[in-house]
Amino acid sequence: MSYDVTRTTLQGMTHIPPPAEELRLLDAELFRLDARRNELLRRRAWLVAALYAPAPAAPRPTARGPEAAAPRVQNVLLLLGGVLLVIAATAFTLVSWGDLGITGRALVLGAVTAAVLAAPVALLKRGLRSTAESVAGLGLALTVLDTYALHGAVFVEAAGAPYTAITSAVLGSLWVAYGRLPAMQELRLPLPAALAAAQLPLLCGALALGADAYGITAALLLTAAFDTAVALRATARPVRLLAVVGAYGLGGSGVWAAGSLSWTATGPSAAARAAALLLLAATIALVAAWRGAGGRREPGAATAPADGLPDAQGTAPGAAGARPAAPGAGHALGLSVASALLAVAALGGVARSALPGTWTVPVHLAVGIALLAAVRSERLPETVRRGFAAASGAVQVLAVAWTLPVVAVTLLGPVGWVFHVWSGAPADLREAVTVDAPWPPDAATAPLVLVAVAAVLVLAVRHTDRRPRALTGALALTWAAALTLPAVLELPYTLGLLVLGSVTGVVLASPYGQPTATVLALATSADLGFAALASQSATLTALAALTAFFAVVSWRHTALTAPTALAHATALACATGAAADWQPRFTALLVLAVPAVAAVLAGWLKDTRATVAVEITGAVTGVLAITLAATDLPMLALVLSLCGVIAAGTALRPDRHAVGYPAAALFLLATWVRLAAWEVGTPEAYTLPVTVAALIVGFLHRRREPRTSSWTAYGPGLAATLLPSLAAAWGDAGWTRPLLLGLAALSLTLLGGGYSLQAPLVLGGSVLALDTLHELAPYIVQVTDALPRWVPPALAGLLLLSLGATYERRIRDVRRMRDVLGRMS
């Protein structure tokens, strides 16, 4: 092999990183080494300090600090001084004003107010800002007192409302000019005070002009619009805060008043005026939301979050170098939702005054759906679009909630036919669903509302993740519309039942929204079954059709459709028996066909859930059959036997062997019922079958598990016969039962002793002793009566002496007997 070939091959096999990659790896390794070295040095310094640290000195008592800081004390003093001066000025204006003449009054007004308003200039130059704020506040209060004094002295004839409107506007303007003076720009009080005064002119002006409710509401909304503009443009935090409070307070009051006017409007003209007010409020909210969602930043300025919290770099809102975001930024979503809802209320109120009441909800829904057109507009900010979408969704939810009473009456109303079975077919389906419930008013457009919302879900929701849920919701709404349509249109009774049956089939066949569609189909079938109870022919026809339909489609969602088919078959069997005028005991035999079919069907099914559902349905139907036959003992015995046969057949399946126990119990109950029907009073006839079966089961179990106690294997079975027979023997005057019971007890005692079994030995011996005592009791009584009275005490004394003399031996005998019994199983 040549040298060139070898070098080329080695270069391809050896991994040599590029220089840049190798340099990066070296830098990373050096960085880790430096970090480890720094960590070790810090640890070494800590250890050295811990070893050579001096003993801790006794703590010195620290001097108690001042309870109040100097700035706080200064502010409190200034506030108290300003309050006292305002009180003094108020007292002077109200009490001593009349003692001065016109000249004196003018001099006092001009001199005091001018001096107080000019004083902050000198205070600010000396750096006394808090003092300047207090004096400025006093000056502003004096201007208010001056206007009051002028009204009492000069403008006596002026009415209160117009004078307040004019003076508040003048004061607001003067305070703004005062706060904008170059020497006063450091003061924070004049501008908020001017904004507070600006809340009165429009409202007081409307009252002065004698405006009606519409005019006063317009004044409130226009004032709120002014506050909103101030909140969006102001930079001072106190001004913005006060403007936001005024906008929300006055705006909320105006919206409430406009909504009340729209709701109580008696004609299109009044509704249009109220709608104009609502649209004005919607415009104000929309502008605030738009500016709040799309607030601009100055170049190079930091961004303050709209909620007033510091940003990621710790820059607080209103810090130097940053323009505060619009105060409505944090509320843009809520304002956009409110704007959209106000627009819906405005337009819907106009339509409500001109259209019948049944179209109120559809009109509002149409306006709410129209909001979705604005959601797709790229010119609107994202927050505003999300707010419009949320408002549209809220309107749709409220519209669907309005239809719920109609759906509930249509779905649950036919249940009332259970108490009026076959009383006669009604004229139309609305009478069928309102047998015991009233029909909701203005419900004619309920199906239209449901269909409209369903169409919105299908057309508007196209997101991949939400699309299946939207289709399921649209299916449910369409089903509700189809369910209520026959009752809304008052279709004839028979035609309405056919429509309900068609809805059941169509919904069940839907490829979307499963298994919700299957549940809706089951609910429709139940509604159809109850509605058909009005007529005998309708009941039999509807139940037969539903049974056949669900039996055919039972391959689809078997866990739901198969039990439904069995339930309808059970109802059909009961209806058939009632139509044939059969007694309930004979109808029970027909009902038993359903558990038999359920047992066969459960053996064929492979789905565990479907199998359990079918078996539960069959068991419930079997209980119904037993209940129907309970009044006739021979028929009840037959039904119990047939139920036992069905259960025994089910127990033959490998996974249902445990059903054999209920089958045995059913056979036993059938036997007892048959004996009771034959008026058999011998208890052994009822207990011996139980004892024989229990002993066989115990014997087989003991063969599989030799360690099983005889009490577990044989105790219950033996007690089931011995104890009732002993009770009967004690009350039996004959000798046959005690003799047979004694022989049986003796046999059990001998078997228990021979095979070392506790249960037969103890039970047999106890029953034998009690039976013998019962038989010897008359003779013992006779002998006791024949003996003298002193003989029983003497015999008792001799017995006690004998027991006392042989006490220790008796104790040993008892312990030996206990050990013998303990060794038995």
Above 90 in pLDDT, residue 548?
yes
Chain-centroid distance of CA 775 in Å reads 72
CA distance 574 to 579: 9
Above 80 in pLDDT, residue 809?
no
Segment 711-737 shows an average pLDDT of: 81
Above 80 in pLDDT, residue 186?
no
- pLDDT band at 698, cuts 50/70/90? confident
Above 90 in pLDDT, residue 42?
no
CA atoms in the 13 A half-sphere facing the CB of 795? 7
Segment 398-407 shows an average pLDDT of: 94
pLDDT top residue among 566 and 26: 566
Percent of the chain past pLDDT 90, that is, above it, reads 28
What pLDDT was estimated at residue 317?
36
What pLDDT was estimated at residue 69?
40
Segment 76-85 shows an average pLDDT of: 52
Runs of H (alpha helix) within 580-607: 584-591, 593-604
Residue appearing with tokens 């979503």: 333
**521 and 538 in contact (C-beta within 8 Å)?**
no
**730 and 688 in contact (C-beta within 8 Å)?**
no
What pLDDT was estimated at residue 726?
81
Above 80 in pLDDT, residue 109?
no
CA angle 450, 452, 456 (to 5 degrees): 115
Above 60 in pLDDT, residue 791?
yes
Which of 213-217, 271-275, 295-299, 675-679 is predicted least confidently?
295-299
Phi, psi (rounded to 5 degrees) for 377: -80, 125
What pLDDT was estimated at residue 325?
42
For residue 162, cis peptide bond before it (omega within 30 degrees of 0): no
Above 80 in pLDDT, residue 557?
yes
The contacts of residue 761 (CB under 8 Å, 6+ apart) are: 748, 749, 752, 753, 821, 824
Residue 428, strand partner residues: 492
Which of 102-116, 185-199, 381-395, 656-670 is predicted least confidently?
102-116
Residue appearing with tokens 């200034």: 78
Q: What type of residue sits at position 358?
A: T
- The mean of the pLDDT values for the chain is 80
Locate 229 and state its tokens: 């503009």
- pLDDT band at 110, cuts 50/70/90? low
Name the most confidently modeled range: 163-177, 613-627, 762-776.
613-627
CA distance 525 to 560: 12
Overall size of the chain counted in residues: 825
CA distance 51 to 54: 9
Residue 399 Cα distances to 52, 405, 408, 445, 481, angstroms:
80, 12, 15, 11, 13
pLDDT top residue among 707 and 53: 707
Percent of the chain past pLDDT 70, that is, above it, reads 80
**450 and 478 in contact (C-beta within 8 Å)?**
yes
What pLDDT was estimated at residue 779?
65
Within the chain, what is the greatest distance between any pair of CA atoms? Answer: 144
The contacts of residue 424 (CB under 8 Å, 6+ apart) are: 534, 535
pTM of the model: 0.69
What pLDDT was estimated at residue 299?
37
The domain spans of the chain are: 73-210, 787-825
Residue pLDDT, tens place only, 353-371: 888 888 889 999 999 998 8
The contacts of residue 623 (CB under 8 Å, 6+ apart) are: none
Residue pLDDT, tens place only, 274-332: 999 999 999 999 998 888 776 433 333 333 333 333 333 333 333 333 344 444 445 78
